Amino acid sequence: MDVRENLRNIAIIAHVDHGKTTLVDQLLKQSGVFRANENVEERVMDSNDLERERGITILSKPTAVMYNGIKINIVDTPGHADFGGEVERILQMVDGVVLLVDAFEGCMPQTRFVLKKALGLGKKPLVVLNKIDRPGARPEEVVDEVLDLFIELGADEDQLEFPVIYASARDGYASEDYHEPGTDMKPLFDAIVKEIPAPQGDMNGELQLLISNIDSDKFVGRIGVGRVERGTAKNGQAAVLCHTDGTTQNVRIAKLYQFEGLKRVECDTATVGDIVCVSGVQDINIGETICSNDCVEPLPFVKIDEPTVSMNFIVNNSPFAGREGKYVTSRNLRDRLFKEIETNVALRVEETDSADTFKVSGRGELHLSILIETMRRQNYEFQVSRPQVITKMIDGKLHEPMEFLIIEVPDTYVGPVMEKLGSRKGELINMGTREGGVTHIEFRIPSRGLMGYRPEFLTDTNGNGIMNHVFDGYEPYKGEIVTRHQGSLIAFETGETVTYGLYAAQERGRLFIGPGVPVYEGMIVGASPKSEDITVNVCKKKHITNTRASGSDDALKLTPPTIMSLEQCLEFIADDELVEVTPENIRMRKRILSKEQRMKQAFRKK
């Protein structure tokens, strides 16, 4: 076995908001990747617009830095469990992981999720406690929590001997002792070189290159990103592509690229342990192996966890269909969804009995809402149904997905939170107090019990609560859960909203739209405090009469409408409602627009 001492491959894993992307920024800056006068954006790794707006990482991306003649390939991974499919396959490319934990918050659900995957694959961990400069940081306690988590997840003795580095990614320093803040990231670089194993493999063997990611380039086409597991890859080399279904295909590697900083740089050869990009192979997919012609041995690929939530994507058939979007037909929708599953491994798309409807399954509501938002920005127009959890039959019994939920709230709000989660079939596992009058609560709860809960949680805690959850296996079905206690306010006719009509409607509930907005019959314009739906006429104008009375013509005061985001709309709608998504608007509507038809159907059901 040859050992590449001048190379290290690491992934940075952590819970969302614990500072992964900021840490990678500092490693890039301090390794001299950027010129002294170069203007560098904050969170340079989050290149996608949605990532920048939301401050989250959605797609994992490799980068490389040089330190004392050693090349370190670093992969920044997403923190949300909804993008766990990204994390799982990225771990195939690396030899060790840097586990980043917030020195104040400690271990969170997603920390647990990604660490479990890394330990299961036998990766060597290096723990970094970030944000040690934060008020209330508790490094000693958090190190104990991390150790408990390692033991709970079944880490072996070698993995339990993890080194700990204390850092502040924002201020750009790391140290081996939290009492003595450092001046730069050198202690972290040294720890990576010393603790993370160098890649090993047979450099003189026949080529094996496992593809873990797909990129695309408008000039070059599809690009496979993967790691050379054996042998050497060369520019222009003839090879065999082994598909995941067992078939093979003769291909040629047109060009090889390696990462230097944030750039892809052409190279002639790549050997064991190198993370490379391969262009010129058009049919390449995630999980496939490129082998040499003389020895065709495909590598096994990591099994990606199954989706837990599904929703229907439907061609828009509302009265406003086709006004705002560029791509509106079922063929446009089908092509776009099937293109998405080429790179989004954790997603499933199925055709249904109707040519206009596609069933899309993903890892969670966030996973699907990011896809919806991305398509909307690409000028697609369509409708989506309410997210449904995916149940399974196990030993003849119906099982449903469960979530492990961690909540931190000020003590005064514990009552309402416990009451709501109890009614949603939540089961209390653990409860404790933290400094500053904060209660830490852990639950196991059915996934469907959490749908639509976040807005209620924020209301119940006056926005002071923190809530995180992660998929935690399947359990027998827990029975009926009533999650929505309010009805909808539904527009009576097609037209434009008028202040007079809205003023009368706002007494019936909370409005989602203001004056001068086009609406159609059957569109949802607000929420009713009662459980049944109410039809309101928001286009109603005041009749002009000859009579004038003092005071009757005073300005009508409207309460400002509640503007709903895409996620809030998906959480609000009931099973008989849809969200209409266009590049310019997000509207909610009844599946059956006519009030008469809805009443007939309700009568038939009775």
- Give the phi and the psi of residue 275 in degrees, each rounded to 5: -95, 120
Among 48, 8, 122, 109, which Cα is nearest to 21's? 48
pLDDT at position 61: 57
Annotated ligand binding at 357? The verdict is no
Name the token pair of 222.
């599809």
Residue 312's pLDDT band (cuts 50, 70, 90): very high
The pLDDT tens digits of the residues spanning 347-357 come to: 889 999 988 99
pLDDT at position 39: 41
Annotated ligand binding at 22? The verdict is yes
The pLDDT tens digits of the residues spanning 328-347 come to: 999 999 999 988 877 676 78
CA torsion through residues 385, 386, 390, 396, sign: negative
Residue 251's pLDDT band (cuts 50, 70, 90): confident
Q: What is the pTM of this model?
A: 0.69
Annotated ligand binding at 411? The verdict is no
* Mean pLDDT confidence for 140-151: 86
CB 339 within 8 A of CB 319: no
Annotated ligand binding at 547? The verdict is no
Residue 161's pLDDT band (cuts 50, 70, 90): confident
Annotated ligand binding at 524? The verdict is no
Place of tokens 């127009």: 381
Name the token pair of 406.
């961690």
Q: Which domains does the chain have, with CATH numbers?
A: 2-199 (3.40.50.300), 202-292 (2.40.30.10), 392-476 (3.30.70.240), 487-579+586-605 (2.40.50.250)
The answer to which of 212-216, 507-511, 570-574, 596-600 has the lowest mean pLDDT is 212-216
pLDDT over 80 at 218, yes or no: no
The pLDDT tens digits of the residues spanning 12-55 come to: 887 766 676 777 777 777 766 544 444 444 444 444 454 444 44
pLDDT at position 384: 93
E strand map for 435-559? 438-446, 466-476, 487-491, 495-496, 510-511, 518-519, 523-528, 534-536
Share of the chain above pLDDT 90, in %: 13
The answer to which of 491-495, 505-509, 540-544 has the lowest mean pLDDT is 540-544
Q: How far apart, in Å, are the Cα atoms of 528 and each of 501, 513, 515, 569, 595?
A: 16, 14, 19, 15, 16
Q: Return the number of other C-beta atoms located less than 10 Å from residue 405's C-beta.
A: 23
Annotated ligand binding at 19? The verdict is yes
- Give the phi and the psi of residue 258 in degrees, each rounded to 5: -120, 165
Among 395, 314, 390, which Cα is nearest to 356's? 314
pLDDT at position 383: 94
Annotated ligand binding at 133? The verdict is yes
* Mean pLDDT confidence for 370-398: 89
Q: Return the number of other C-beta atoms located less than 10 Å from residue 131's C-beta.
A: 25
Q: Could you tell me how far CA 6 lies from the centroid of its own chain?
A: 34
pLDDT at position 287: 79
Provide the β-strand partners of residue 445: 403
- Note the helical H segments in 252-382: 330-343, 365-377
Amino acid at 400: E
pLDDT over 70 at 549, yes or no: no
pLDDT over 90 at 264, yes or no: no
Annotated ligand binding at 17? The verdict is yes
Maximum pairwise Cα distance, the chain: 98
